[in-house]
Amino acid sequence: MTEPVVPASTDRFAPYRELAALFPDEVVTQAEVTDVDLPGDAGTLALITLDNHAGPKRPTTLGPNTLIGLGRVLDTQADRARSGELAAVAITGKPGFLAAGADLGSVSSLKQGAEGRLLAQLGHDVYNVLTDFPVPSFAFINGLALGGGLEIALAANYRTVSSRAKGLGLPEAFIGLVPGWGGVWKTPRITGPRDALTLMIKNPLSNNRNMDGRTAHSIGLADAIFDPAQDPADTGVFVQASVEWAARVIAGDAETVTALQAQRDRDTSDQAWDEAIAEGKALVAAKTGGHVPAPAKVMELFEAGRHRTREESAAAECEALAELMLTHEFANTVYAFLDVVQKRSKNPAGAPPAELARPVQKVGVVGAGLMAGQLAMVYAQQLKVPVVMTDIDQERVDRGVGHVHAQVDKLAAKGKLSAEAGEQLKALVTGSVSKDVYADADFVIEAVFEEMGVKKTVLAELEQIVSPECILATNTSSLSVTEMASGLEHPERLLGFHFFNPVAVMPLVEIVRGPQTTEEVLATAFATAKGLGKTAVLVHDAAAFVVNRILLRMMGEVQHSFDSGTDAEVADEALAPMALPMTPFTLLAMVGIPVAQHVTESLNAAFGDERFPVSTNLQHLIDAQVSSIWAPGGPGDDGRKVIPAKTLELLEFGETPETGEQLLVRVQDALAQEIGLMLDEGVVADAEDIDLCMILGAGWPMHLGGITPYLDQVGASERVNGRRFHG
């Protein structure tokens, strides 16, 4: 609908007109009203549907023009309610979306703090109408609801959610902002402070994790949950169930009111607040080291909001948004999130036309260890096709299949799957000691020991069993796909398909093209990755590909400095200003010292000692079966990590220690050199692909803007390569 022009003298949104003019390219989300007769003669409900009419895949977003339009519609409906024409108002979205929050690309273009403050105030002015509506207000969360989109639901008096809704959350701490349209104040009063902390801090700082409808209902974010129709485009079933529930609420139905009261019985005690605040502060300190402003600001508002009025908290939220919108970290995040993760991932460089892809109706996984089990699980769960695992004996096969089935049972126990869906998923994953079960497979991936001879033997054996159309894939993390293909009769069907651990969580797949890999095979690999919910990046067959090569260069520089005499804590904390997901020594322990050493040896063989020296100290630890440099400190160590005396006895050190600042610059320069060489070698098509791989495969912090902008900003690119990665 097109809103009529309102004279400025009578338009309460007139102060926002100049702000709206700064967004000429905004894809406006319309607020369209439909009157619905409530069951039981309970009156009329005005159902407001948010729809940008931009197709089924483009999320609705909330810019100033959208908010002004929504505000005017809400004002009109409030007038109708005051006149007795309406019994309730409800807001929902187009199929699959309530709203995806503010349009970050447009927001990042604001140049003045006053503009950001005005945008924040506009959101509060509009959402407060829904909260203070003269008759009960409802939000029907039918799909994705992020940031300001979820805050619309929080503003309503009552909320329902679809059991199939996904992508619910308050990700602002992740993207460099705060939930500035009421979320910081309202969420803990709806869910209790502990679950509010999960929404605002834990999930955003855990690689921007979101929640689904069932989880939202379980924490009290929604008052009721209803199943939608089988067809995702059909929202009528969910909306109708929500309308009927709203009618019962309005009528004061005893059973409904009792259930509602029980659902809203959340722990908002002083103890719950104290524990949530303490946990949040500790988590922010551990994750960011004080180097990222947004999470700390969220915690500041969260703590202060405990004793503030809604109006006082709103004023503080507006000031925080005005400040954060102009930060370097927010601009970096917009580039990383929108330009890299959102746009680049949807148009992968070098991907063949999608129509060349062949269907994958059965998958084979060679191996039944932990990685193989993760692969089997994700293929079965996402593609919903039979997956068969093999190993050298029945005990290993049974253990591997049993592990997958146990993971399915855990999902069912948590309510992530129905019991029926869990049994169907388990039935898809089977095992055998004979590779003959792969005869009718369309895609077989090996996850065996990371040794070239073993992998070549397995692939040669598979080639004699599978059909001519079957794709053979290797999950190698560092070995040459070209070398693996050299012994095959049909090397054109082989490619690298490298996942990251944990497979269910990490969204990246590095697709490695062999010298003879066909376009059809490559297209099928990209289609398969998409079906798995992964982002695929095409990489050239070079040692360790992208992520592991960069990480091992970084870890190698730190290890070399430590071996040369730098204090362990200085070495391990030197990269703290980057606010990486974990320190180098912690990452080393997580990856496994033998694995890291093996990849380094591959890189050393390919590129030499100068860039990838093999640490003698690490080999000493491997020989002694020591799994970590650090160990938890004892009672007298104040909780600090220590190197056990027995571990120190295994190590030898040089006499050229560095300061943390020197080591940080050294690592920056090493990364700039390595990435420059990778781009010169054509390992990927562009610097943006490096950024995409590191963000999705290594958790590279968004606030740094991707690894190549970071190296530009600290001067390493020009120091080492004489030029920036980005002009």
| Contact (CB, 8 A) for 562 and 615 | no
- For 226, phi then psi, to 5°, come to -135, 150
The arithmetic mean of pLDDT across residues 68-82, rounded, is 97
- For 599, phi then psi, to 5°, come to -65, -40
Length of the chain counted residue by residue: 727
Token output for 47: 């159902």
- For 336, phi then psi, to 5°, come to -65, -40
The arithmetic mean of pLDDT across residues 203-230, rounded, is 93
The arithmetic mean of pLDDT across residues 136-142, rounded, is 98
Whether the pLDDT of residue 1 is over 50: the answer is: no
How many whole angstroms separate alpha carbon 396 and alpha carbon 475?
19
How many whole angstroms separate alpha carbon 149 and alpha carbon 414?
26
Nearest CA to 543 out of 611, 453, 622 is that of: 611
Cα 401 to chain centroid distance, Å, stands at 28
Interval 188-201: pLDDT, tens: 999 999 999 999 99
Residue 168 corresponds to which amino acid? Answer: L
Interval 272-319: pLDDT, tens: 999 999 999 999 999 998 889 999 999 999 999 999 999 999 999 999
Q: DSSP for 330-395, please give it.
A: HHHHHIIIIIIIIIIHHS-TTPPPGGGPPP---EEEE--SHHHHHHHHHHHHHH-S-EEEE-SSHH
Whether the pLDDT of residue 162 is over 90: the answer is: yes
Q: Partners of 90 in the beta sheet?
A: 47, 138
How many whole angstroms separate alpha carbon 492 and alpha carbon 588?
35
CA distances in angstroms from 628 to 549, 564, 643, 647, listed in the order given: 21, 19, 9, 9
Q: Tell whether the torsion through CA atoms of 564, 567, 572 and 578 is positive or negative.
A: negative
Q: Partners of 45 in the beta sheet?
A: 36, 88
The owner of tokens 């917009």 is 334
pLDDT of the residue at 109 = 82
pLDDT of the residue at 84 = 97
Sheet with 158-162, strands from edge to edge, namely 30-37, 44-51, 88-93, 137-141, 158-162, 224-226
Quick one: which H or E segment has residue 273?
helix 270-288
Secondary structure percentages of the chain, helix, strand, coil, to 5: 50, 10, 35
Q: Compute the mean pLDDT over every residue in the chain, rounded to the nearest whole number.
A: 94
- For residue 38, give the 3-state DSSP assignment: coil
- For residue 711, give the 3-state DSSP assignment: helix
Q: Quick count: other Cβ atoms within 10 Å of Cβ 137? A: 26
The arithmetic mean of pLDDT across residues 108-118, rounded, is 90
Residue 231 corresponds to which amino acid? Answer: D
Cα 204 to chain centroid distance, Å, stands at 8
Token output for 176: 């460099």
Burial class (CB in 10 A: 0-12, 13-18, 19+), 557: buried
Nearest CA to 549 out of 693, 350, 662, 666 is that of: 693
Q: Which of 102-116, 133-147, 562-576 has the lowest mean pLDDT?
A: 102-116
Sort residue 376 into left (φ over 0), alpha (ψ -120 to 50) or beta.
Answer: alpha
Token output for 414: 């948590």
Whether the pLDDT of residue 414 is over 60: the answer is: yes
Q: Count how many Cα atoms sit within 13 Å of the Cα of residue 396 in the half-sphere of its side chain.
A: 15
Q: Parallel, antiparallel, or unpaired for β 44-51 and 30-37? A: antiparallel
Nearest CA to 687 out of 175, 292, 207, 335 is that of: 335
Whether the pLDDT of residue 271 is over 90: the answer is: yes
Burial class (CB in 10 A: 0-12, 13-18, 19+), 372: buried
Mark out the alpha helices in 132-253 (DSSP H runs): 148-155, 172-175, 183-191, 193-197, 213-218, 236-251
Task: Give the whole-number percent of the chain exceeding pLDDT 90.
Answer: 89
CA distances in angstroms from 352 to 347, 442, 510, listed in the order given: 11, 19, 15
pTM as predicted: 0.88
pLDDT of the residue at 242 = 97
Interval 41-73: pLDDT, tens: 899 999 999 999 999 989 999 999 999 999 999
Whether the pLDDT of residue 181 is over 50: the answer is: yes
How many whole angstroms separate alpha carbon 695 and alpha carbon 706?
7
Whether the pLDDT of residue 402 is over 90: the answer is: yes
Nearest CA to 102 out of 148, 69, 141 is that of: 148
How many whole angstroms separate alpha carbon 338 and alpha carbon 585?
31
How many whole angstroms separate alpha carbon 525 and alpha carbon 512?
10
Q: Parallel, antiparallel, or unpaired for β 443-446 and 471-474? A: parallel
Token output for 307: 């004793």
Q: DSSP for 501-563, please give it.
A: SSTTT--EEEEEE-TT--HHHHHHHHHHHHHTT-EEEEE-S-TTTTHHHHHHHHHHHHHHHHH
Sheet with 494-498, strands from edge to edge, namely 429-432, 387-390, 363-366, 443-446, 471-474, 494-498, 508-513, 535-539
Residue 337 corresponds to which amino acid? Answer: F
How many whole angstroms separate alpha carbon 469 and alpha carbon 477?
25
Whether the pLDDT of residue 639 is over 80: the answer is: no
Q: Quick count: other Cβ atoms within 10 Å of Cβ 547? A: 23
The arithmetic mean of pLDDT across residues 632-636, rounded, is 62
How many whole angstroms separate alpha carbon 528 and alpha carbon 520?
12
Whether the pLDDT of residue 635 is over 70: the answer is: no
Residue 68 corresponds to which amino acid? Answer: I
DSSP label at 2? P
Q: 11 or 475, which is more confident?
A: 475
